Amino acid sequence: MIALDTNLLVRLLTNDEPRQAAKVEAWLRNNATSKDPAYVDHVVLCELAWVFERSYGYSRAEVQGALAALTQQDHLKVEAPGLVRQALALYADGPADFSDYLLAVRAQAAGYSPVLTFDRKAAKTATHQLLR
């Protein structure tokens, strides 16, 4: 199984570099299957959300939709897709970044909750607690 880097998914999903997007699409079509999917790590999803928001100006709904779509592709193996979907649900309506919510649901699944933080936006949620 091959792992995908963030820049491949950025090119594929934005098509901002058509030649590179075509290479990614062709590689996936020829190499990734439901029996041998390409791996997408949580770090890649966090970077992808950050790039979409900061560099491309995508709305929260657009980021949420793009990441949710990745979890539904049978030729991709997203790390712990159930946790990703939980984080996306929190992200859709919350003030914090996607990475904050993914950290929170991962910590909760491991038996640790809430996440202690200095991030005031994240601390407005039930998943995080502000350290004063």
% the chain with pLDDT above 70: 100
Residue range 25-82, pLDDT digits in tens: 999 999 999 999 999 999 999 999 999 999 999 999 999 999 999 999 999 999 999 9
pTM: 0.95
Parse the chain into domains and list their residue ranges. 6-130
Query: What torsion, rounded to 10 degrees, do the Cα atoms 14, 82, 59, 24 define?
Result: 0
pLDDT of residue 122: 97
Confidence of residue 99 (pLDDT cuts 50, 70, 90): very high
Tell me how far apart the alpha carbons of residues 47 and 43 are, in angstroms, rounded to a whole number. Answer: 6
Decide if 116 contacts 81 (C-beta within 8 A).
no
pLDDT of residue 1: 85
% the chain with pLDDT above 90: 99
Of 75, 70, 106, 93, the C-alpha closest to 1 is: 75
